[in-house]
Structure 1
């Protein structure tokens, strides 16, 4: 065999060995580089966005609420605010009744109007009996509803009392919030009742132990300007 062919074969073998060893190593580096690029989280202030789509928010304030008994339980102008709220509401109702009577409406029509004052205008006139087929008709499902079933009686509550209400919002200088959003939870010794922007604490016999207190009172020890501290 010519020495040139031997040299060519030797060169090819050496090149093949180098490629065989180099490629897996380089591929591993490429995969590692790509993995690190994808997995690197994006940090933007207190927000951190991860590759899987999860966004983490770092806490920016830590505080312990002071005892509820030390929180302001009533706005200094609460009684005036409450009286103004109730009086204005009654005045509006009286003014509307006077206006309806001046329009010549009967007391029955006025009563219907008061059931839903936002639906005083007749949208569709209903003619009783219009569109019904001749003869008697009985829904076949009526009999199904008349079958006897065992009544499931709700147990009688062991204690009932009035919790927080709209008046408690007004007592803190907040105008009536509509509709009232009532929430509550019971513990071993107390019941906490909340409605919209305030909460009250009761004992197990219905006595008020604290409140009404504005919800943001729980966050007064957070840093100044924190939304939870300055808003409800």
Structure 2
């Protein structure tokens, strides 16, 4: 029988969620070891859900499995970031164009709510809150696009998308970019979005590359 926590959530799902958030939000640094025994003790679970969680995060692209040794948090290279950015630009531009064309009033309200939560968190210097809300902004747009295939494609890299937002330090600037995008979506201005989205994604990629360069120079 599967291990189930107090709230009815599978232990492996809970452990996966905790480790994913730890990695995305920088609590577990790139290159750090994920030792099953230690994590199991920390989270007060058996080693099996930890093993399953690590396997899931390998599939999501943020953990590297090393046979006969510890799994480690993935260290993204400049090429990784560039490759991700190229694919993401094409997919996310389509997502926001479709969201502009197809959104309902209720859907637009959800997008605006995510933006407003991001602003509040950014003004309070709550980096984790701002980054989580920023990722939700993009996830909601994907749902508003109303295209199942695009939803499946972004699902493949949603964890890496959230990781990328975790590299952004200028929280007010990121929120302001989302404000402009929100206004274009609300106005159904697809021509503006075809310019805004690549520019917005380029700023996130630049932040990730800057973080990577800083880590490399500190070694």
**TM-score, reference length from structure 2:** 0.24
Greater length-normalized contact order (CA 8 Å, ≥ 6 residues apart): 2
Between Structure 1 and Structure 2, whose CA radius of gyration is higher?
1
Whichever structure has more helix as a proportion of its residues is 2
